[in-house]
Amino acid sequence: MSEQRVSMQDRDIFTDDHRAIRQTVRRFAESLAPHAEEWDHDGIFPREVFKRAGDLGLLGIGHDPASGGLGLDWWYTVCYAEELVRSHNAGLNMALMVQSDMATPIIGELGSDEVKRNFLAPAIAGDMISALGVSEPGGGSDVAAIRTTARRDGDDYVINGQKLWITNGTRADFITLAVRTGDDGYGGISLLVFPTDTKGYSVGKKLSKIGNKSSDTAELFFDDCRVPVRYRLGDENMGFYHIMTNFQGERLIAAVAAVAGMELAVRDAIRYGSERKAFGRPITRFQVWKHKLVEHLTAIEAARRLTYFAVDKFVKQPKNAVREITMAKLFAGDLMQRVLYDCMQMYGGFGYTTEYPIARAWTDARLITIGGGTSEVMKEILSKIEGL
């Protein structure tokens, strides 16, 4: 695809190349939508969905072509995240985005040729499933509190500890794993690629969640697991900095998906409300709903502009976009709670049944203010940036 210059001065910042990716993702997502309720009920979706996404190039949009990726900038990832919401299955979307944009970018940046060949390339192709192993029972967003240890023993690391809240955890073929190799605090953390067929590794249980049900979320245990030192990503004890950089992409893609999900929910609610009658007229004819809907559309547009501003800065100055990304996730995540509440209310009793996408969207939306750093953590980050 040809390289295009993106200008925030343009009302439509997407090119024909972006629109081509958008159409591919839209067709893919809409083909999955009929299975959303079933897969949420099952608590997992078929492994073959990863392969389908890989065959379409969707798991490697931003990755180096040398590893099978498309080598495109973050605006293409925006198209991917915005259109994927049409699957009406937030758990599936999260699982795919963990693979494409959370567990693997660090490997592309820091992995050896061997690691890229054996893990990154198969993940981009959809032949292997990846997970990101950072959170623990005693620390989620507090990365410096990681307790899982990796002790050097010759050419291996010996790993002991536990991880929690790990998306794709029950069936990952490998984990991009954060471990403690040094002293307490942020200065003693390293990153490893951990194959899950390693002796001593086990999945404790699959966690039961109120939303995002089709993504498998697990607790993991490591008991004297030996992994080659050559599987380390970057320098020893420097993993904290790479994790925090990786968080920016994770938080930004959450904001993009939240904005797209909100607009989809409002547009669906408008269609439903135009057909559903109360007291002899469509409910969208009542002033209370007309005003709520346009207020939400206005706020969604503001969230989109803030998020796109953050994307623009992330593309141009990836190390200097923390403020804008944090604001975008905070604003979009909190707004989504209000928007989805009102959209669900429009459906009345039908909105309380899981056969309607709005019911699942409402419960799924709660995670936006928790995953990748809670809204409270976002406020703390912004407080520090603003010198408060």
CA distance 347 to 332: 23
CATH topology of domain 16-125: Butyryl-Coa Dehydrogenase, subunit A; domain 1 (1.10.540)
- Across the chain, which has 388 residues, the per-10-residue mean pLDDT values are 38 85 97 97 97 98 97 96 97 98 97 98 98 88 89 98 97 98 92 98 95 96 98 96 92 97 97 90 93 97 97 94 98 98 95 93 96 94 96
Dump strand ranges (E) for 39-111: none
Q: Which residues are catalytic?
A: 250
Contact 307/256 with Cβ under 8 angstroms? yes
Q: Three-class SS of residue 128?
A: coil
Q: Name the strand (E) or helix (H) holding 156.
A: strand 156-167
Considering just the CA atoms, what is the radius of gyration of the chain in Å? 21
Q: What is the CATH number of domain 240-385?
A: 1.20.140.10
Nearest to 53 by CA among 15, 99, 102: 99
CA distance 365 to 76: 23
CA distance 104 to 122: 11
Number of Cβ atoms within 10 Å of the Cβ of 172: 27
CA distance 212 to 64: 30
CA distance 232 to 376: 32
The β-bridge partners of 247 are none
Contact 82/256 with Cβ under 8 angstroms? yes
* pLDDT attached to residue 82: 97
Question: Residues with Cβ < 8 Å from 13, sequence gap 6 or more?
Answer: 6, 7, 75, 308
Angle at 108 (CA atoms; ends 19, 15), nearest 5 degrees: 15
pTM across the whole model = 0.93
Burial (CB count within 10 angstroms: exposed 0-12, middle 13-18, buried 19+), residue 138: exposed
CA distance 351 to 358: 6
Q: Name the strand (E) or helix (H) holding 252.
A: helix 239-275
CA distance 342 to 69: 40
The β-bridge partners of 149 are 160, 180
Burial (CB count within 10 angstroms: exposed 0-12, middle 13-18, buried 19+), residue 222: buried
Contact 205/160 with Cβ under 8 angstroms? no
Domain boundaries, the chain: 16-125, 130-238, 240-385
CA distance 102 to 107: 10
DSSP structure class, residue 3: -
**130-238 under CATH 2.40.110.10, yes or no:** yes
CA distance 316 to 319: 9
Question: Residues with Cβ < 8 Å from 271, sequence gap 6 or more?
Answer: none
* pLDDT attached to residue 9: 37
Q: Three-class SS of residue 4?
A: coil
